[in-house]
Amino acid sequence: MTAAEPFDPKVERMDPDARRELQEQRLRHLVDRLLQTDNLQGARLREIGVTRGTDVRLDEIHLLPTITKQDLWDHYPFGLQLAPQGDVVCVHGSSGTGGRPTLIPYTANDVAIWSQVMARALKGAGATKSSIIHNAYGYGLFTGGLGVHHGGLELGATVIPMSGGMTERQVRLINDLKPDVLCCTPSYALRLADDLQDTSIKVGVFGAEPWTEEMRQEIERRLGIRALDIYGLSEVIGPGVACESLDSEGLLNIAEDHFFPETLDGELVFTTLTKTGMPLLRYRTGDVATLHEPAGQRTLRRMSKLKGRKDDMLVIRGVNVFPTEIEAVVLEHASPHYLIVEDRRTTTAQLHVAVESTQDVEEQLTGKLRERLGITCRVHVLEPGKLPRTEVGKAQRLARWTQGQAPIDGLT
């Protein structure tokens, strides 16, 4: 597939200096709005001496206070909402770490922005008005399904609102309706690949969980498609914050006219410049990635694929390990179905890595993981089909074992 034209060329090809001026105007308007309320964010701005939007400049945004998921929990459900309740048209969110809910109110303005940035993402991935988009992200509070749905309608494509699960029906509809675009989690794409052959699908837009280049190669090999990454989170807008395009060289184009990106100690931080329901100033996402300069026909800054989440980083005998580093090794030697178990039953942590293979790859994988990570992992080779498959939602690649029965059989 060749490079796709931008959905909104005026914005996606905007002169970077003009975009920066627009971002600063929007930042100052956001600060003014926050200061007009008793909102936590407004109070923090006043504490550091900010009295009006013109007090702030874009190149000094790093001096402003951040907001965290803990702040959202502490002010649950809508303590950080700015828009009047009458302007709220829907609510999205996620269960959050440990099942603690994070809820985000959306205005009609927010849904319109979401639709636009998702349409950009789909168009950049090669979708057109003639496309049929098979949408296997879950519908509901989770933003994945409805985000793709809004974007597909904005683009003018045909959206099949399949949602997650019911794999047999998914396969039947893909074979019958012949979509050219597949949208789901990368782990579910591999689950579909178990039952799909010679499909009409040309490209997949996969997100909602960190995944590696090795996972990309596996998906592309098994489905015969281009596999592209998409990033987003409900606190910022949902999917569409950033997405790979066919010509973005493995990086994700950020919709930075709406979401101003920074990194803080490797962690992505976003300011929602145009949201009206619950705008956030310098929201710490917990996601680890790097920022990159524009390239190609789009003048938007880009970000790398996620390395992982800060709260998923494992510290094993003083060594920092992200699950994606383990995935990169596993996929070179075994199937893409695996589980990492962090054994914390004693003061000395141990990593178990359970994989599926018809061959004895235990010694080889142990050596390769030691070489990549600098620590020894206990590798367990299981027969194909022994590890659970992801039918709905995000794949569970990491289990923390602190007491009681092991997460899977055979661990000691």
**295 and 338 share a domain?**
no
Check if the beta carbon of residue 114 is closer than 8 Å to that of residue 274.
Answer: no
Residue 234 and residue 255: Cα distance in Å, rounded? 15
What is the per-residue DSSP string for 202-270?
-EEEE-SS---HHHHHHHHHHH-SEEEEEEEETTTTEEEEEE--TTSTT-EEE-TTTEEEEEETTEEEE
* The last residue of a domain, from among 309, 336, 353: 309
**The pTM is what?**
0.87
**322 and 280 share a domain?**
no
**299 and 339 share a domain?**
no
Residue 56 and residue 45: Cα distance in Å, rounded? 10
Of the candidates 341, 334, 397, the one whose C-alpha atom is nearest the C-alpha of residue 361 is 334
* The last residue of a domain, from among 291, 309, 327: 309
Tokens representing 408 are 């899977």
* The last residue of a domain, from among 278, 309, 340: 309
- H or E stretch including 354? strand 350-356
**128 and 264 share a domain?**
yes
What pLDDT tens digit does each residue of the chain (412 aa) get? 668 899 999 999 999 999 999 999 999 999 999 999 999 999 999 999 999 999 999 999 999 999 999 999 999 999 999 999 999 999 999 865 455 679 999 999 999 999 999 999 999 999 999 999 999 999 999 999 999 999 999 999 999 999 998 999 999 999 999 999 999 999 999 999 999 999 999 999 999 988 999 999 999 999 999 999 999 999 999 999 999 999 999 999 999 999 999 999 999 999 999 999 999 999 999 999 999 999 989 999 999 999 988 887 887 877 788 888 898 899 988 888 899 999 888 877 889 999 998 888 999 999 999 998 888 999 999 988 888 777 766 777 888 888 888 888 877 7
**324 and 373 share a domain?**
yes
**176 and 224 share a domain?**
yes
In a domain, 4, yes or no: no
**234 and 317 share a domain?**
no
> What is the CATH number for 148?
3.40.50.12780
Overall number of domains in the chain: 2
Q: What does the pLDDT look like over 214-240, one tens digit per residue? A: 999 999 999 999 999 999 999 999 999
**116 and 227 share a domain?**
yes
> What is the CATH number for 356?
3.30.300.30
In a domain, 292, yes or no: yes
In a domain, 379, yes or no: yes
**285 and 365 share a domain?**
no
What is the per-residue DSSP string for 31-68?
HHHHHTS--HHHHHHHHTT--SGGG--GGGGGGSPPB-
- Parent domain of 370: 313-401
Ramachandran category for residue 25: left, alpha or beta (phi over 0 → left; psi -120 to 50 → alpha):
alpha
| Residues with Cβ within 8 Å of residue 104, at least 6 apart in sequence | 91, 92, 93, 234, 235, 277, 278
In a domain, 152, yes or no: yes
Residue 282 and residue 280: Cα distance in Å, rounded? 6
Residue 187 corresponds to which amino acid?
A: S
